[in-house]
Amino acid sequence: MMHEKPILIREDGLRHDGRKPEDLRPIKMRVGVLKNADGSALVEFGKTKVIAAVYGPREAKPRHVALPDRALIRCRYHMAPFSTDDRKSPAPSRREIELSKVIREALEAAVFTELYPRTTIDVFIEVLQADGGTRTTGLTAASLALADAGIPMRDLVAAVAVGKVDGVLVLDIDQLEDEYGEADMPVGIMPNLGEIVLLQLNGVLTPDEFRKALDLAYRGLKEVYRLQKEALYRKYYSGY
Amino acid sequence: MSLTPYEFSTVPRLRKLQVINSLRKGARIDGRGFEDYRKITIELGTIPKAAGSALVRIGDTTVLVGVKTEIGEPYRDRPLEGVLQVHAEFVPLASPTFEPGPPDENAIETARVIDRSLREPRAIKLEELTIVPGRKVWIVFNDIYLLDHNGNIVDTSMLATMAALRTARLPRVVSVEGDTVIIDKSTREKPLPVQLSVVIVSVAKINGYLLVDPNIDEESVLDAKLMIGVDEKGRIVGMQKTGQRSFTRSEVDQAIELALKKAGELHTFLNQALAGR
């Protein structure tokens, strides 16, 4: 049944979980968490927990999908049945089909697919626990998994969702803020190049609010990018 | 699973040179300016059996939308609201690349982008679609039927959706006893409570050039596309980036500026079409 809208911005200006509007949740990243996959990563933003694995470049199956001039990327974003409050049916929902597409397109912009013609690069994203920002956490993890697989990229992809809650623009919204807020804007960028590879807006913003929201995302993604590089150093740089 | 599209991977490379050479000269392959839509036509009431319907053409892209209504139960987390469902079918007669079968990721994305652009700004007052609170409500199905695909499906579908919804009428409720609702299906009385108009403007990026309303040749070679939903108050009510490449920040700013300008024109055009009925 319908719940009453909780207070999202407290009187002291902090959010329901005590964060400031421009704060990220506590973030954890680990690279190379699976043995079989060519590359893998586990990323957590607060209670949101997503694992990503990359297989490839490998032979395209079925053969007719192979591209003569570059690798084909196959991507699946999927939520585990136990990841949500009510059990989620494991069959792919319309939402998961759409998100698989926007995440694939975001990764295509980063990967040098032209280096591996006639192959596929498979990216599998499993949401283990969902508490808001699963697509952005998944994209962040997928780009780490690609790097872990040694696949050349223009840049890593770092992603986060900005929201508008109780009229305030806030960084890295969680499920409660997504559910009761006025806007949810997932943003994925290649931080070093400054280019946008994923952008969605679910909600209402004035053009001015949009620009401020994008600024907020860019500032937060600097930190996400730093943590991504740190996670890669931890695995690959013995002097770290 | 989402795959890189693999049909027609070689032809567009040749076409791309043609499209880009044309853009360098300041014109598009069909002679339009960068900020020009193709010719738009709106026909209302195409399907009298539907509660509302519209056939919209942008250039040769043709979309038919039919709205149907029925009595049903509300969503459990929204007991005091009617239900809106948006579906899109890319039927095989619309393009040589379409196959029969359940909606693919492109059809699903189109439907969901349009759904969100209506839902988020509360374009339809769903609370006015309640008949028995918590138990019986109007379910509104907005079915998007793509008949001819020649580029820019989303802008066309949104215009057709808006025209169909704004002309849709609900049948008369004859009686309500407990959970039993009797309606007279032969009637069309109360207009659907649409309180806000929304249009979507798609801005394509091809080799650094930004242009609106890409035709199918431009779509086959574009780097990225930003679909921007704009309501009649000039607010951004939805956005979705697609395509296999990226946007710079200044390109996104320019795309939004362009979309706000073109959205005003689309709203005016839609209002004129609806006023003339």
What pLDDT digit, counting tens, does each position of B51-87 carry?
Answer: 999 999 999 999 999 999 999 999 999 999 999 999 9
| Residue B265 within any structural domain of the chain | yes
Residue B4 lies in a domain: no
Q: Which two tokens stand for residue B114?
A: 């349009």
Residue A156 inside a domain? The answer is yes
DSSP states of B220-266? HH-SEEEEEEEETTS-EEEEEEESSS-B-HHHHHHHHHHHHHHHHHH
pLDDT at B15: 83
Considering only residues 168 to 197 of chain A, which have any Cβ-Cβ distance to chain B shorter than 8 Å?
A: 183, 185, 190, 193-197
Touching B: A residues 215-234, CB under 8 Å? 218
The dihedrals phi and psi of A161, each to the nearest 5 degrees, come to -105, 135
Q: Name, in order, each residue with C-beta under 8 angstroms of B113's C-beta and a sequence gap of 6 or more.
A: B154, B200, B227, B229, B238, B240
Tens of pLDDT, residues B139-180:
999 999 999 999 999 999 999 999 999 999 999 999 999 999
- Asked whether residue B190 is domain-assigned, the answer is yes
- Residue contact B105–A98, C-beta within 8 A: yes
pLDDT for res B47: 98
Enumerate the β-bridge partners of residue A189.
A158, A196
d(CA A119, CA A134): 28
Q: Is A76 on the interface with B (CB under 8 A)?
A: yes
Work out the minimum CA distance from A17 to partner chain B, whole angstroms: 24
pLDDT(B276) > 90: no
Number of domains within chain A: 1
Say whether A113 and B4 touch across the interface (CB within 8 A): yes
| Residue B186 pLDDT greater than 50, yes or no | yes
In chain A, whose CA is at the least distance from the CA of B198?
A204
User: Would A5 be classed as within a structural domain?
Assistant: no
Residue B181 has pLDDT above 70, yes or no: yes
Q: What is the mean pLDDT of residues B187-215?
A: 97
Number of domains in chain B: 1
Query: What residues form DSSP beta bridges with B251?
Result: none
The partner residue sitting opposite A67, judged by closest CB among B6, B112, B238, is B6
CA-nearest residue of chain B to A204?
B237
Give CA–CA dist A176/A234, Å, rounded.
33
- pLDDT reported for residue A123: 98
Residue B243 forms contact with A (CB below 8 Å): yes
Within a domain: residue A42?
yes
Q: Is pLDDT at B224 greater than 80 in this prediction? A: yes
Task: Flag whether A2 is in a domain.
Answer: no
> Which residues constitute the domain of residue B143?
13-275
DSSP letters spanning B135-161: TEEEEEEEEEEEEE-SS-HHHHHHHHH
Q: Do the domain assignments include residue B192?
A: yes
Q: How many whole angstroms separate alpha carbon B136 and alpha carbon B129?
A: 9
| A87 located within any domain | yes
- A22 within domain boundaries: no
Question: Given this model, what pLDDT does residue A76 score?
Answer: 98
Distances (CA, A) of A108 to A103, A143, A194, B209: 9, 10, 16, 20
Chain B residues 190-229 within an 8 A CB cutoff of chain A:
224, 226
CATH number at residue A89: 3.30.230.70
Please list the pLDDT of chain A residue by residue as tens digits (240 residues). 456 889 999 999 999 999 999 999 999 999 999 999 999 999 999 999 999 999 999 999 888 889 999 999 999 999 999 999 999 999 999 999 999 999 999 999 999 999 999 999 999 999 999 999 999 999 999 999 999 999 999 999 999 999 999 999 999 999 999 999 999 999 999 999 999 999 999 999 999 999 999 999 999 999 999 999 999 999 998 766
Strand partners, B84: B140
CB atoms closer than 10 angstroms to residue B216 = 15
- By C-alpha distance, the chain A residue nearest B13 is A69
Banded pLDDT at B9 (limits 50, 70, 90) = low
Taking the alpha carbons of A188, A194, A196, A197 in that order, is the dihedral positive or negative? Answer: negative
| pLDDT (0 to 100) of residue B8 | 59
- Are B193 and B129 in contact by the 8 Å Cβ rule? The answer is yes
Q: How far apart are CA A51 and CA A80, in angstroms?
A: 11
pLDDT over 90 at B10, yes or no:
no
Question: What does the alpha-carbon distance between residue B55 and residue B46 come to, in Å, rounded to a whole number?
Answer: 6
Within a domain: B132: yes
Q: Residue B3: inside a domain, yes or no?
A: no
A90 found inside a domain? yes
How far CA B225 is from CA of A81, A192, B212, in Å, comes to: 33, 22, 9
Residue B17 within a domain: yes
B96, amino acid identity: P
Nearest to A173 by CA among A42, A49, A50, A22: A22
| Through-space distance between the first and last CA atoms of chain B, rounded to whole angstroms | 44
Q: What is the DSSP letter of A111?
A: B
Instruction: Answer whether A108 sits within 8 Å of B4, measured CB to CB.
Output: yes
Cβ pair A98:B1 closer than 8 A = no
pLDDT of B27 strictly over 50: yes
Measured between CB atoms, does B79 come within 8 Å of chain A? yes
Q: Does residue B4 belong to the interface with chain A, where contact is any CB pair within 8 Å?
A: yes
pLDDT at position A1 is 43
Is A47 inside a domain boundary? yes
Nearest CA in chain B to A93: B108
User: A150: domain range?
Assistant: 27-235
For chain A, say whether B123 makes contact (Cβ under 8 Å): no
CATH at B19: 3.30.230.70
B236 within a domain of the structure (yes/no): yes
| Count of CB pairs separated by less than 8 Å, A with B | 130
Chain A CA closest to residue B247:
A196
